[in-house]
Chain A
Amino acid sequence: MLLGPALLLSAVLFTIGVAGVLLRRNAIVLFMCVELMLNAVNLSFVAFAQVLGLGGQVIVFFVMTVAAAEAAVGLAIILAVFRHTRSVDLKNINLLQG
């Protein structure tokens, strides 16, 4: 079975996503890293579905739907921010600073 390597790949992808979110400043890249994390989780769901039954695959569809909606909203927000500040750098987005 490929469960072990699949989970390992999933963990690597997830870690790359987290690191990207934490370290990068560009909103688009950040957004892509979030997608990466989602898909890493999807991968582990599919891998588990091979062992534990089809439930994991069903969840994947839900995650993909949510991710699509999130992509639409997220990109729209980034676009709006860009129009406002002429930049997608997170350093410039600090209006809510306490």
Chain B
Amino acid sequence: MTLSLMQEGGPSTAAVAEGAVSWVWLTVALPLAGFLVNGWLALKRPQAKTAVSVIGAGVLIAAFMVAAAIFVQLRGSPPEAPMIVQLWRWIPSGGLDIRFALQVDQLSTVMLLVVTGVGSLIHVFSIGYMRADPGYARYFSYLNLFIVFMLVLVLGSSLPVLFVGWEGVGLCSYLLIGFWYEDKANADAGKKAFLMNRIGDFGVLIAMFLIWWSLRTLDFATIAERAPERLVAGGGLVTAITLFLFLGCTGKSAQIPLYTWLPDAMAGPTPVSALIHAATMVTAGVYLVARTSTLFALAPFSSAVVAGIGAFTALFAASIGLRQYDIKRVLAYSTVSQLGYMFLAVGTGAYVAGVFHLVTHAFFKALLFLGAGSVIHAMHGAYHATHSHEDPQDMRNMGGLRRALPWTFTLMLIATLAIAGIPPLAGFFSKDEILAAAFGRGSVEPVWFLFWGMGLLAALMTAYYMMRLMTMTFLGESRLAPAEREHLHEAPWSMTGPLVILGLLTIVGGLINLPAFAGGHHGLDAWLEPVMETAARVMPLHMPHGQTEWLLIGGAVVIAATGLLLGWRLTSARPILPAREAPGDTGLSLVLFRKYYIDEIYNAVIVKPLVTISRFVLWKGVDQGLIDGAGAHGSAGLARGLGWLGSRLQSGQLGFYIVVFLIGAVWLLRAVAR
């Protein structure tokens, strides 16, 4: 391996961008313009809500059109190599020459469509949901800014450009979690998310240094080209690089051990939870692993860690979801759990399955969150009209909402069946593919059988907690007071419309990668094949076929159905009391409700000692003692003392001066005479 100081030339196989692809910068520029205009309006004309709505949602829909045009072009003539759109030289520094360039290939196009498509729907939903909020313009400017950074993240052609987006979405996430910052809990949740992401970002930075050091490039295309030649497969270096990258992913995508920020992030407005904390930003980690799949394929140990953490997170978060009462919290833990599935997939080497689940999850989880938003909207309206101060998000206060919210009920039911894995909905195909891939890998490395088992158990829990959510929210008798019940009403069409579209996508989403047994031809597999081929060559998949495949599918469906049935029967078996009258949980339920006390443990083990050390050692000791005391006051005191000594000579007595002068003169004379 030769290490020259200069960056070696770019990828030898980059294609020239033409047609719609050369306009890809518009997808970033449009939301950026939206952010600037909406930001200006937020400062100057916060009441211009119509203008804000038109601009905020309009730029997204326009960006989606551009994305669709790009997709059509790529569909017509699939490029063998990624198309790079150079924007400007960003960091020309000696051997390092980073260009701000956007990369269009099959993978980034999928992400582009998901981000702009789901983003558009959620922007439209927000128009109705946030209508009455005084920070309406500020909200839309943040949301537009988020889309800008998210697109930079998925389109960036090199790690530093991706990192700009990576940090930017973290910033927007912070701003939007703490959107209602007057409430300290919300501001704290924002800080928590920001700080936990910082830990992960540190990992990404170290990984970047290591990649530059070993491969002399930061471009994705060149990394994929050089890594198999220059890095020892399974060697320490590639393992370190991938583990540091994965540390970043655990932060951004809320995996163990850095997942605790995501449930707290529900403090933000519900459409934000749908867009940022379910459909797009949190999947950035999965995208990063898929993007650098060559590196992960070269590091079997890291891949096993990714799969193991993913499977364990899926199970762990699902079990917490079993006993939550806040409707958004259930969905938050569900998101953590489903992200675990995606990491199980990419750790197994089933990168396409991971991206597939990412897409279907974006559909059904956005639908679930927006549905929850619709429910909260209705509950809030009912409580608001009757001046009640109950919690509009606590499922124990709901019940029987199917009568008041028939559309929301139907659509959320579809999403529930999809996430549980009932065929032929979207979630079934993607989840089945992940579990099949994990099972197949088990024949090579038995530990994957364990991961597969964890995934299966998590699927049972998923079906259970989702059906529990549906039962508590929509079925049974209403637990609202009769006066409050009258004020329940379905949301306006600007809110239900996006739900309907997402519902349709949830039903047909599986078609994009329909497997052979269902009469399909693995469309997404074929589509992403040029991006993933290097990784697939290094780490081949072992998908089960024939009878085994049918057994796996049958087992998964039976488990999903069992979970749904249990969730429905067990929840409706006993009457549910409203939150105010409900007795506290006990035993295992309490442990689950308190989330295994992980937050408390983190507080006691990490936060408290850190605060104590900071306060008494760093603040009182180092800062006030050493720097202020010895440093600032000490040097000032020294100067003052020396000055005082010197001023003793200035007696004002001329005679004294002359004596000193004479002594000096004599002394000089002596020195000269010698």
Interface residues of A (CB under 8 A from B): 18, 21-23, 30, 90, 93-98
- Chain A residues, Cβ within 8 Å of B651: 94, 97-98
Rank and list the top 3 A-B pairs by shortest CB-CB distance, nearest first. Answer: A94-B652, A97-B652, A98-B647
Number of A-B contacts (CB under 8 A): 30
B518 within 8 A of A: no
Task: Offer 24 A-B interface pairs, CB within 8 angstroms, sorted by A.
Answer: A21-B655, A21-B658, A22-B658, A22-B659, A22-B662, A23-B655, A30-B654, A90-B653, A90-B654, A90-B655, A93-B652, A93-B654, A94-B651, A94-B652, A94-B653, A96-B652, A97-B650, A97-B651, A97-B652, A98-B646, A98-B647, A98-B648, A98-B649, A98-B651
Known contacts A22-B655, A97-B650, then 17 further A-B pairs from the complex at CB < 8 Å, ordered by chain A residue: A22-B658, A22-B659, A22-B662, A90-B654, A93-B652, A93-B654, A94-B651, A94-B652, A94-B653, A95-B652, A96-B652, A97-B651, A97-B652, A98-B647, A98-B649, A98-B651, A98-B652
The minimal Cβ–Cβ distance linking A13 to chain B, given in whole angstroms, is 16
- Expressed in whole angstroms, the Cα–Cα distance for A21 and B650 within the complex equals 18
- A18 to B655: give the CA distance in the assembly, Å: 11
Q: Which residues of A contact B650 (CB under 8 A)?
A: 96-98
Count of chain B residues with a beta carbon within 8 Å of a chain A beta carbon: 13
Q: How far, in whole Å, are A98 and B639 apart by their CA atoms in the complex? A: 15
In the complex, the chain B residue whose C-beta lies closest to that of A30 is B654
Contacts of A96 in B (CB 8 A): 650, 652
A93: chain B residues within 8 A (beta carbon): 652, 654
Nearest neighbor of B649 in chain A, beta-carbon distance = A98
Give complex CA distance A95, B654 in Å.
11
Task: Give Cα distance in the complex from A22 to B653, angstroms.
Answer: 11
Contact with A along B640-674 (1 / 0, CB 8 A): 00000011111111110011001000000000000
Chain A nearest CB: distance from B461 CB in Å? 83
Residue of B nearest to A90 (CB): B654
Q: Give chain A nearest CB distance to B658 CB in angstroms.
A: 6
- The residue in A22, A23, A30 that gathers the most chain B C-beta atoms within 10 A of its C-beta is A22
B111 to chain A minimum Cβ distance, whole angstroms, is 75
CB proximity of B657 to chain A, nearest CB, Å: 10
Collect the chain A residues with CB atoms within 8 Å of residue B658's CB.
21-22
Closest to A21 in B: B658
Query: Considering the chains assembled together, what is the distance between the CA atoms of A98 and B650 in angstroms?
Result: 5
Give complex CA distance A90, B656 in Å.
Answer: 11
Q: Give A23 to B653 CA distance when docked, in angstroms.
A: 12
Q: How far is the CB of B305 from chain A (nearest CB, A)?
A: 72
- Residues in B with CB closer than 8 Å to A90 are 653-655
B652 engages A18 (CB within 8 Å)? no
| Minimum CB distance partner of B644 in chain A | A98
Closest Cβ of chain B to A92, distance in Å, is: 10
Query: In the complex, how many angstroms separate the beta carbon of A79 from the nearest chain B beta carbon?
Result: 17
User: Bound complex: CA of A2 vs CA of B82, how far in Å?
Assistant: 110
A24 to B654, CA, bound (A): 10
A23: chain B residues within 8 A (beta carbon) = 655
A30 to B653, CA, bound (A): 13
- A94–B647 Cα gap in the complex (Å)? 13
Please give me the residue from chain B that is nearest to A93 by CB atom: B654
Residues of A within 8 Å of B649, CB to CB, are 98
* Minimum CB–CB distance for B467 against chain A, Å: 89
Closest B residue to A34 by beta carbon equals: B658
- Measured between alpha carbons, how far is A94 from B655 in the docked complex, in Å? 11
Give the chain B neighbours of A98 by CB distance below 8 A.
646-652
CA distance in complex: A87, B458 (Å): 104
Q: Which residue of B lies closest to A91 (CB)?
A: B653
